[in-house]
Chains A and B, each alone.
Chain A
């Protein structure tokens, strides 16, 4: 399947996870990787499945590299109703009131423009004991399995 990995990062941790997912998926899929700050929201392609990795920064905000994307979406107001995405969040439960609000904001932004979410948004906790790639690889495989049927069904419907 054609997959685009998009990441929103502040410290580089989300970028590293996106690169890990790329390495994991490349053998079986055609994979593109882009920083959200370099991605034009008017170029979403219904034939691709979008996997977004997004961290949280400061007081529950989008990370720096996701902010230009959010502004571009607000300006262009693209119709994303035939776009499928899954989203993985990264946060730190030390800051529990705003834990993973960055990925939540990104999810809400995409859904507000009609995009269809596949799978659940799951979140990694930097203060927890597991590694982000251990969570994300199984999650991505499951999302892709669902996307393979959904992309066809939703297009036929």
Chain B
């Protein structure tokens, strides 16, 4: 009997791990479990809607289900049953030889300053999930602008900047829904200030992400706090210098990059009206008037899996070994650092470890795996259900869009459970 392996979370880390396990273990049955009826996690809901090329890794992951015999178990929530989960981690472990947690880190890190809970302050996670039509954020009604301040200098901050700065026609080819475009143009944004704590050469964004901003049609750029030019300087500096002054004087939006500022307070009674900044050494302060603040300063655990305890008790936290037969992968294991391909390399290392552990201590091979889940939970969906959702989302598309996503789990389930016509 093959080893039964369950991977919780069907985002890029989970999928890359399934791919690597398929190559590293000859004798394993792998199931990818997701709380939604749709797979691919962050690729579907975190990668920006206008970065469809980045989402192309989905073609690799689809092969897991279509050719490699990996199972998809959708609409099943693992975690604490007292908070609405279908099944506890312990119960899941009793059904599989190996369980891997690859649920990512989806909560936003907080700034920890006064005013961050005022209305008009948004966090990067809910905002990007909302623009990607994640069912959890369907109810969010962002009212951004006219003056926006983005706090953070990573790729997520740049994604948000780009989405806010684009005009409607620049979303051609994306899957950004018309409702989002309409809302963004409801309150035309006139200025976006993006604030980084570090100096420009130490900013966390990838240079290519900033270079891409140079294509924006109706913005003009101002780059503050640049050091004097030197030879052989960091690519980030060169890319930023390339943007300095780009754009027409009559462009509808001004984008200002500011570096070396630490936010100390968001001012306002109910709603944010200004943000106060200070130099790290306290030498200087600056107050920027604004209508909205978006924080994009990294991600943290959403506490649904007791990650902290798992890491403290882990046999080998660095390798992702939590306990015999229980492993941690991706961001859930190593924290919110690194890109999608970094998680691929990580997954390959973890797959080798799991294969070695299985070879060293073979399992009895008598665990029921997915059969037990399907018997117990009638609401589980499968890969065929996702294919029906996928087909419905890519049929009869609006002009210039590559997909129109369902925004509620109920709608997804209705389509996933449609039975093909029998005759």
Which residues on A are within 8 Å of B, measured CB to CB? 10-13, 16, 57-60, 64, 92-98, 125-127, 131
Contact string against A for B residues 105-128, beta-carbon threshold 8 Å, 1 for contact and 0 otherwise: 000000000000000000000000
A11-B341 in contact given A58-B207, A59-B206 (Cβ < 8 Å) = yes
Can you show 13 pairs from A to B with CB atoms below 8 A apart? A11-B60, A11-B341, A11-B344, A12-B16, A13-B59, A58-B207, A58-B208, A64-B345, A94-B53, A126-B52, A127-B52, A127-B53, A131-B59
B: number of interface residues (CB 8 Å): 26
Distance between A123 CB and nearest chain B CB, rounded to angstroms = 13
Between B50, B51, B59, the greatest number of chain A beta carbons within 10 A of the residue's beta carbon is seen for B59
Question: Is B341 within 8 A of A92, CB to CB?
Answer: no
Question: Is B345 within 8 A of A98, CB to CB?
Answer: no
Q: B343's closest neighbor in chain A, by CB? A: A11
Q: Does B54 contact A (CB under 8 A)?
A: yes
Distance between A130 CB and nearest chain B CB, rounded to angstroms = 12
Question: Is A126 within 8 A of B16, CB to CB?
Answer: no
Q: Which of B53, B54, B57, B207 contacts A59 (CB 8 A)?
A: B207
Q: Which residues of A contact B59 (CB under 8 A)?
A: 13, 16, 131
Whole-angstrom CA separation of A11 from B60 in the bound complex: 9
Between A58, A94, A96, the greatest number of chain B beta carbons within 10 A of the residue's beta carbon is seen for A94
Whole-angstrom CA separation of A98 from B63 in the bound complex: 29
Distance between A99 CB and nearest chain B CB, rounded to angstroms = 10
Between B52, B60, B341, B344, the greatest number of chain A beta carbons within 10 A of the residue's beta carbon is seen for B341
Whole-angstrom CA separation of A125 from B52 in the bound complex: 11
A95-B208 in contact given A11-B340, A64-B341 (Cβ < 8 Å) = yes
Q: A60's closest neighbor in chain B, by CB? A: B208
A12-B51 in contact given A58-B208, A98-B208 (Cβ < 8 Å) = no
Q: Which of A12, A57, A58, A97 contacts B57 (CB 8 A)?
A: A12
Q: Which residues of A contact B56 (CB under 8 A)?
A: 13, 92, 126
Whole-angstrom CA separation of A16 from B214 in the bound complex: 32
A12-B53 in contact given A59-B207, A94-B212 (Cβ < 8 Å) = no
Q: Which residues of B contact A125 (CB under 8 A)?
A: 53
Whole-angstrom CA separation of A61 from B386 in the bound complex: 35
Whole-angstrom CA separation of A11 from B51 in the bound complex: 15
Q: Which residues of B contact A97 (CB under 8 A)?
A: 211, 214
Q: Which residues of A contact B235 (CB under 8 A)?
A: 59
Question: Is A126 within 8 A of B60, CB to CB?
Answer: no
Please name the 7 residue pairs, one residue from A and one from B, whose CB atoms are nearest each other, closest first: A126-B53, A92-B53, A127-B53, A59-B208, A126-B56, A10-B341, A59-B207
